[in-house]
A and B are shown apart, each in its own frame.
Chain A
Amino acid sequence: MHVYAYLVSGYLILAGSYGIVRSRHLVHAVVCLSVAQAGTYVLLISIGYQHGGATAPVFGSTTKPNTHAVDPVVQAMTLTDIVVSATVSALLLALAIQINKRQGTADPDELATLRG
C-alpha cells in the first residue's frame, strides 16, 4: 500500500468538491471547501514523509543536526496555507452573511441572479 496516503488525500479533495456541488446551504459549501483544502495538506505532508525513523526537522540537544529528517519545505508550505485558509474562509462566511441578509435565503439554488 505505497500509495494509500495519496489516495486518501485525493478522496478528501473529491469528497469536499462533491459536498460543494450538492450543497443546499452556503455555510455547508464553505465547510466542504475546508475539507477539500485539508486534502491538499495531507497530500503535501505525505510527500515529505520518510520511513525508517526519520525525525521532525527540528534540531536540539537530543537531535543533532543531520539529514535523516522529513522534508521541511512541504511543511513550511502547508503551515502558512492553513492559517491563510482560515482567513479566506472567514471572507467567504462574511459574504454568506451578507447574501443571506440581502436575499433572504442561504440556499444556492434559490439565489436570484446578479442585479445591476
Chain B
Amino acid sequence: MTRLTRLLVFALGGGVVAVAFILAASGMPHFGTTHHLYRDLSVPASVQHHTANVVSAVNFDQRAVDTLGEESILIASVIGAAALLRPSEDETERLVPEQGRTLEATRLVGYVMLPVTLVLGIDVVAHGGTTPGGGFQGGVVLATGLHLLYVGGSYSALDRLRPVTSFEIADGAGAAAFALLGLLGLVSTGAFLGNFLPYGVLGQILSTGTVQVLSGIVGVEVVGGMVVLLSSFFEQELAVRPRDDD
C-alpha cells in the first residue's frame, strides 16, 4: 500500500471517527457536571475503610483486581523488553570505557539530589494511603532518582550500585507478593484481595489495612521493573558489540 493510499484510508476512517466523536461529545454530560455516580459511591466506601486517599483506595481496595492485571502487564512487558534486548549469539558485552566529561555543576546537582530523590520516593510510596502518591508513582520516582547517578557520574558508577539481578528478583517477588496477599484476603474475608488488616484513624499512615501493604508491594515491583528496563536499554547501547570472529 503506497503512502498516498494509506493517507486516503486514514482520512476516510479518521473523518468517520471525528464525526462520531463530536456527536458523542455533544451528547455527554457537560464538562464540569455535578452528576458523578461513581464518586458518590466510592468516597463513602473509602472513608468507611479509613483511607484518606480515595484514589489509592480505588486502586488497592475497591478495584484491586484491576491493579493485579495492570502490574501483570508491567512485568510481562519488562520480561519481553529484556528478552528482546539481551545480546544475541553473535554479540558480546564489553566493559564500558570511561568516556566524556560531565560538567562540575551537573555532577554536584546529581550527587545532591540523589539522596533527596530516594528519600522522597520512599516517602511517596509509604504515604500512599494518606497523601497523593502510592506504589506506582513512588516506584517511578525511585527508579528515576537512581539514574541520577548516571547523570551526575558515569555509567560504571551506576553499574556498581545497581545489581540488576536484585532488581529482577524484586520485580518478580513484588508481583508474586501481590497475588499472595490476595489469596490471604480470600482466606480471611472470603473475597480475593479483601481488606483484612485492622483499620486505624483516618489520616494516619497505618490506618488503611491492606492498602498500605499493597501499595508498598507495587512500589517494589515498579522500581524493579523500571530499573531492569532501563538497564537493558543502557546495556544495549553502551556494552553490546558484535562478536569479533577469530
Contact = CB atoms under 8 A, between A and B. Distances in A.
Interface of A: 2-7, 10, 14, 17-18, 21-22, 46-52, 56-61, 65-67, 69-77, 79-84, 86-88, 90-91, 93-95, 97-98, 109
Given A51-B32, A90-B77, A90-B229, A61 B203 contact: yes
Contact of A94 (B31, B80, B226): B80
Contact of B18 (A10, A22, A60, A69): A10
A66 B57 CA distance: 15
Interface of B: 3, 6-7, 10, 14, 17-18, 21-22, 25-26, 28, 30-34, 36, 38-40, 42-44, 46-47, 52-55, 57-59, 63, 66-67, 70, 73-74, 77-78, 80-81, 84-85, 130-132, 134, 136-137, 139-140, 202-203, 222, 225-226, 229, 232-233, 236
A93 B85 CA distance: 10
A81 B42 CA distance: 20
Contacts of B32: 2, 49-52
B131 A14 contact: no
A6 B31 contact: yes
A22 B3 CA distance: 8
B17 A14 contact: yes
A73 B34 contact: no
